[in-house]
């Protein structure tokens, strides 16, 4: 078999690969995402980050939003934010002929406004805000705190507490080079754990994460914040 040229290999590597995960296991959501249902059940498809899968499904169940289906891109894309926009676009193009409406459950997430621009171009709505820490707490409140000087806080959500080693400790090389801790986290003063559910075990684990990072610990229970607001908005009948 003839070898493919370099251009062909690069094109292949950059092509959208649909999520393959079928479970809500955090490792699966990180690596494979969550595939769309094999049989369409709703009119609206949410294309989301794998880190938000549990929260989205909980909001859907609590509010009876049965007309919303969900697929999630791998949460590990947050380690490569320059790839998020292309992956979201690929998912939209794959599913847009199947659903009446598609909504994107990402905030800006380090794309520098590129994701919002692409969503506008594609004609799909997305959750407003710079990142999930902001919309969980409330974008206006988060912006006020930032303007007031709270720029030395390191944030974790439920998912990130569970995946702390996979998302933070190992990618930053701290498992092999703990001496890098001060260089990486030296400008931070505290770790803020924004919890979506009430789980004392997660609070304890988040506190341990703060200790490992050499930071003060603060726990803020946000619930689902403006993620729920956005989903309820999408759940309203169109006039």
pLDDT value, residue 237: 62
Binned at pLDDT 50, 70 and 90, residue 8 comes out as very low
**Is pLDDT of 1 > 50?**
no
Residue 157 pLDDT exceeds 90: yes
The more confidently predicted of residues 164 and 15 is 164
On the question of pLDDT at 21 being above 80, the answer is no
Whether residue 213 has pLDDT greater than 50? yes
CA distance 21 to 32: 5
Tell me: pLDDT of 135 over 50.
Answer: yes
Is the pLDDT higher at 28 or at 239?
A: 28
What average pLDDT does range 172-197 have in this prediction? 93
Helix axes 53-63, 225-235, angle to 10 degrees: 50
Percent of all residues in the chain with a pLDDT value above 70, rounded to a whole number: 92
Q: Is 156 exposed, middle or buried (0-12, 13-18, 19+ CB in 10 A)?
A: buried
The answer, yes or no, to whether residue 17 has pLDDT greater than 90, is no
| Residue range 141-145: mean pLDDT, rounded | 93
CA quadruple 60, 168, 117, 146: dihedral positive or negative?
positive
- Residue 92 to residue 76: CA distance in whole angstroms: 19
The reported pLDDT for the residue numbered 38 is 80
Confidence of residue 101 (pLDDT cuts 50, 70, 90): very high
Please tell me the predicted confidence (pLDDT) of residue 211. Answer: 96
120 pLDDT exceeds 90? yes
pLDDT mean over 209-215: 95
- Predicted TM-score (pTM) above 0.75: yes
């Amino acid at each position: 078999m003839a070898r493919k040229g370099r251009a062909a290999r690069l094109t292949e590597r950059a092509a959208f690969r649909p999520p393959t995960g079928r479970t809500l296991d955090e490792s699966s959501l990180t690596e494979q995402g969550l595939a769309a249902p094999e049989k369409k059940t709703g009119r609206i498809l949410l294309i989301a980050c794998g880190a938000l899968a549990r929260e989205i499904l909980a909001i859907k169940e609590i509010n009876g939003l049965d007309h919303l289906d969900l697929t999630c891109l791998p949460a590990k894309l947050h380690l490569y934010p320059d790839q998020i926009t292309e992956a979201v676009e690929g998912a939209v193009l794959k599913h847009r002929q199947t659903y009446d409406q598609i909504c994107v459950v990402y905030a800006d997430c380090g794309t520098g406004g590129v994701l919002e621009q692409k969503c506008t171009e594609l004609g799909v709505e997305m959750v407003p805000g710079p990142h999930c820490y902001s919309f969980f707490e409330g974008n206006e409140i988060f912006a006020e705190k930032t303007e007031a000087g709270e720029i030395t806080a390191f944030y974790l959500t439920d998912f990130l507490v569970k995946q702390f080693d996979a998302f933070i400790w190992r990618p930053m090389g701290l498992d092999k080079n703990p001496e890098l801790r001060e260089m990486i986290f030296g400008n931070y003063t505290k770790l803020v754990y924004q919890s979506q559910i009430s789980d004392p075990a997660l609070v304890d684990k988040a506190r341990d994460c703060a200790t490992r990072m050499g930071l003060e610990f603060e726990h803020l229970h946000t619930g689902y914040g403006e993620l729920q607001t956005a989903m309820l908005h999408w759940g309203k009948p169109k006039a």
